Amino acid sequence: KQEVTQIPAALSVPEGENLVLNCSFTDSAIYNLQWFRQDPGKGLTSLLLIQSSQREQTSGRLNASLDKSSGRSTLYIAASQPGDSATYLCAVKGTYKYIFGTGTRLKVLA
Amino acid sequence: DVKVTQSSRYLVKRTGEKVFLECVQDMDHENMFWYRQDPGLGLRLIYFSYDVKMKEKGDIPEGYSVSREKKERFSLILESASTNQTSMYLCASTQGQETQYFGPGTRLLVL
């Protein structure tokens, strides 16, 4: 059974720092991995999607990598800003279903 | 701009009531999903549908049913609401291996 773990559960950093969020999964037979952002009381917003054949994806200050063989993905956020404060979730996709991690709650201090 | 909408942002219902949560997507996606999100438990899949009139149980289907009569609409039904169904309900849709898009969520309180 696929399990997805995100470490750390919470993180506080000063503005301007580069940071890395981690996601690990137990079954490497995935179709893709997606990173989301969730603001309090809101739905999830897609940040980056990495297909199983890809190694990384970039969007602006965000870069996500995928190492299927080791069951790991990282989300790199460059030059963090207070507006980046949110919960970040990763999800891996099997045949039909997505399995989500419980998220990393990020606070960027001004 | 892609859009997934949910019928209500907040709902308050009484124990034993039948509750309908509706989700509509405008992207012609085949796959639609209902999740619930609870603190410490993350997102858990209740039901999903990969085509009109098709439905599959997720990880926690007990106490729920779904309906998908049209491609764009996926409804979640709580047959007899109970207090342990108080939660945030999230609908999502996707096509093939592409990005999963979420609605804004419905926060349901069952008294």
Asked if the Cβ–Cβ distance from B42 to A101 is below 8 Å, we say yes
Residues in chain B: 111
Contact A36, B35 (CB under 8 A): no
Helix (H), strand (E) at residue B28: none
**Chain A touched by B38 (CB under 8 Å):** no
Contact B21, B8 (CB under 8 A): yes
What count of CB pairs under 8 Å joins A to B?
50
Report the C-alpha gap between B65 and A46 in whole angstroms: 27
**Chain A touched by B101 (CB under 8 Å):** yes
**Chain B touched by A36 (CB under 8 Å):** yes
Tens of pLDDT, residue by residue over A48-106, are 999 999 999 999 999 999 999 999 999 999 999 999 999 999 999 988 789 999 999 99
pLDDT-based confidence at B96, cuts 50/70/90?
confident
Q: Provide the H-helix boundaries in chain A.
A: none
Nearest Cα neighbor of B95 from A56, A75, A29, A93 is A93
Tens of pLDDT, residue by residue over B38-77, are 988 889 999 999 999 899 999 999 999 999 999 999 999 9
